[in-house]
Every structure is written in structure tokens, then in C-alpha cells.
Amino acid sequence: MRITILGGGGFLGRKLAVRLAADGTLGGRPITELTLFDLAAPTAPAAPFPIRCLGGDVADPATVRQAIPPGTEVVVHLAAVVSAQAEADYDLGMRVNLQGTLAVLEACRALAASGAPPPRVIFTSSVASFGGGQDANLPDDARQLPGNSYGAEKAVAELLLQDASRKGFLDAVSIRLPTVIIRPGRPNKAASSFVSGILREPLLGLETELPVPEDFSVWVCSPRQAVAWFLHAMAMDTAPLGLDRGINPPGLSVTVQAMLDGLARAAGPAARALVRASPDPAVAAIVGGWPASFTAERGRRLGFTEQPGIDAIIAAFLADDLPATKAERGM
């Protein structure tokens, strides 16, 4: 089985690649080749199968065709410009998040036209493709009504991939990821970056700013859980999806206060004290429109497992990512 990860140099792409390398199989079948693609060529983990590492522009169709060679059966499309960056730079967001997805669609269409089975495409959509805000607990049939360019680009891409699945060009599963915490490494340009920052930075012994009130709620999942969802989507039977290829996976709705209480349980009151209030209306305007909760009943029925509580999320970061984050930041 040949697999391609677009965005293979990002933190979720790297984690997924390491997991595939460790498992050596997907859905009971041996992996014969893995391609990792990003803006700069990623570093390959040790694996019992060949790994190709390519760098390039995901919006360039010729480059994407190289990353999705004949024989590819699964494509995991993680490549994206994140929320606040896409809002600030409209052209960049449209190029990467929309034109990039069109390039992926056309590469997969070419494979299907050659007589090969339509490749499975796992697309990382987002909670940001919905509106509703703090009072929302959205059902599975809720209408996507994004209040930001990033969410709009993700929603449009979902529709295009859904139609491509209907046409037989590919076999899409669009996972509307919650905010993924705790991100290792450094803060990024996502509007939701603070959700990881208020846990990661104090666990490193660093002060950090909180741009929203402590009663602010957010829909989250851990990197471990996101990878588990990817693996399930890569091998699942998609027939029960029918025309609707979008999945709201069962994340966790949690307040900032509950997150900080979990921080105090894990690292003591002194760690919690490193988080200081610093209201940021621009950040609050973006994340405040995202739904705080989903029912996620369909995702559970389709076998997507539940995200455990905030203590488990913090424990996973301490076990999986804290040492590497310290090393990366010279600590």
C-alpha cells in the first residue's frame, strides 16, 4: 500500500508518519511506500518500508502529482495555512487552502482516470468551518456558516471533495478537527495558538498570555486522538457515509478555567500563576465565533473514538512531547 501525507513536515504529519512507520501496516495490509510532502522536504522516520521526502508548493498541480504517484491508495491532506494567518493574508489562504485542495483533487482524479481505484483522501477540515459561538452545541446536520476566511476555505474544500467522491474521482473523509492541544514546539500563527500556549508554556516554566476570559469554552482534542482518528478514517468502510463525507469527531468541550485547573493538578499552583490575562479583541473575534461543543453522534457511530478529559491531554503531552519541545527551544 502506498500512502502520501501532504503536510508531512507539520507536527500532526510527523506524528502520523512515525505511527505508520512503527506499525508497518494499515488496515491489516503492509505499507510498501510512504511519501512525505511539505513546503520543505520533511525528515523521514526510520521505517521498514521506503519513504520519499519531497518539498514544494501544494498549490502547484505538477508538484502535487509527483507527491501522489501511480499506485497511491491513501492521501492524507494536512497542508494548510492556519486560521489567523489565512484571515490576515487572504490571497495566501486561498492559494494554499483552496487551490492546494484543487491540486490534490486533480492529482487523484488522474489516478482514477488511469483505471486505478479512487484513492482514499483524508482531509483535515476544522471546527472553524462552523459558526455558533459559546452557546452552541451543534448537531451533526448543523449548517456550516464560517465567520472567518480559513473556515470558509475549509468548507468549500469539503464540498469539492464530497462532489469528487460522488463522481468517483476519489474517496474522501473530511475530519473537522477540534483545536488540537497541546501543540509541541513554539507558538504558531493560528488564532487558537493560545489554547496550547496556556498549558505548554507554563509546563516549560514560562509566562504566557491569555487573550480570552477564563469562562471561555473550546472544543479540543489531543494530537494522540487526532492521529487515532486519521488512522481510523484511512482504513474505514466509507459506504455508510453516503454522500455526506464530513465527520464531526467526538472531541472535548472544556473551559479555560478547567484547563488551568488541570495544569495546576499536573504542575502545581505556580505553573497556573504563569498564565496572565491579556485580552486580545482580534483573537477573541475569531475564536469566539467557533462552536464550543458538538454532539458528534454520527462520528461515534462510525467508530471514531472519544477524546478523554483534560488530565489525559496534559499527561499525553508530558509523555510524548515535553522533552522534544524543551530540546527544540534550547531548554
The string of pLDDT tens digits covering residues 75-111 is 999 999 988 889 889 999 999 999 999 999 999 999 9
125: confidence class by pLDDT, cuts 50, 70, 90? very high
pLDDT of residue 37: 98
16: confidence class by pLDDT, cuts 50, 70, 90? very high
DSSP three-state, residue 44: coil
Which residues on neighbouring strands pair with residue 276, listed in sequence order?
209
Q: How far is CA 300 from CA 90, 144, 227, 251, 265, in A?
A: 35, 20, 16, 10, 30
Average pLDDT, the chain: 96
pLDDT of residue 286: 86
pLDDT of residue 189: 78
Distance in angstroms (rounded) separating the CA atoms of residues 331 and 328? 8
Q: What is the CATH number of the domain that holds 323?
A: 3.90.25.10
The string of pLDDT tens digits covering residues 302-314 is 999 999 999 999 9
Same domain, 239 and 260: no
Distance of CA 171 to the CA centre of its chain: 19
Indicate whether 51 belongs to any domain: yes
The string of pLDDT tens digits covering residues 246-285 is 999 999 999 999 999 999 999 999 999 999 999 999 889 8
Is 150 among the residues known to form the active site?
yes
- Flag whether pLDDT at 23 surpasses 90: yes
Domain that holds residue 204: 193-218+252-293+307-328
Same domain, 143 and 268: no
Which residue out of 37, 123, 130, 150 is catalytically annotated?
A: 150
Work out the angle between the directed axes of helices 223-235 and 310-320 (0-180°, nearest 10). 90
Q: What is the CATH number of the domain that holds 123?
A: 3.40.50.720
Domain count across the chain: 2
